[in-house]
Amino acid sequence: GNSVTQMEGPVTLSEEAFLTINCTYTATGYPSLFWYVQYPGEGLQLLLKATKADDKGSNKGFEATYRKETTSFHLEKGSVQVSDSAVYFCALWNSGSRLTFGEGTQLTVNP
């Protein structure tokens, strides 16, 4: 079946630091991959997505590249801000199937 594994959190960084949150997956076929973000007290928002191998999703300075050879979709940002503090979820979707989430990674950015 499908599964998503994220790096364990929480992650605490200083403002302007480089961010990487690792995500690997197990799936049949050719899934689409997503990063969702949950700001404090809010719902899940789509941050970025990639629908095929070697695609790079990007939004708000965040990037993730769909790597089929390593079954990974690591989230990166070159310079984080305090406002990036949130929980980040990696997710996988196969057509005809459910969206499967990773465990979530809590990011705290300190000024």
Partner 1 sequence: EPEVTQTPSHQVTQMGQEVILRCVPISNHLYFYWYRQILGQKVEFLVSFYNNEISEKSEIFDDQFSVERPDGSNFTLKIRSTKLEDSAMYFCASQTNSPLHFGNGTRLTVT
Site for partner 1, rule CB under 8 A: 32, 34, 36, 42-46, 49, 51, 89, 93, 97-104
Strands 45-50 and 11-14: unpaired
Nearer to partner 1, 32 or 62 (CB): 32
Nearer to partner 1, 5 or 17 (CB): 5
- In whole angstroms, how large is the CA radius of gyration of the chain? 13
Q: At its nearest, how many Å lie between partner 1 and the CB of residue 16?
A: 28
Nearer to partner 1, 17 or 59 (CB): 59
Burial class (CB in 10 A: 0-12, 13-18, 19+), 42: exposed
Q: At its nearest, how many Å lie between partner 1 and the CB of residue 55?
A: 13
Q: At its nearest, how many Å lie between partner 1 and the CB of residue 79?
A: 26
Say which residues have a Cβ less than 8 Å from residue 24's Cβ, sequence separation at least 6.
4, 5, 70, 71, 72, 73
Q: At its nearest, how many Å lie between partner 1 and the CB of residue 108?
A: 15
The structure tokens listed for 18 are 């480089």
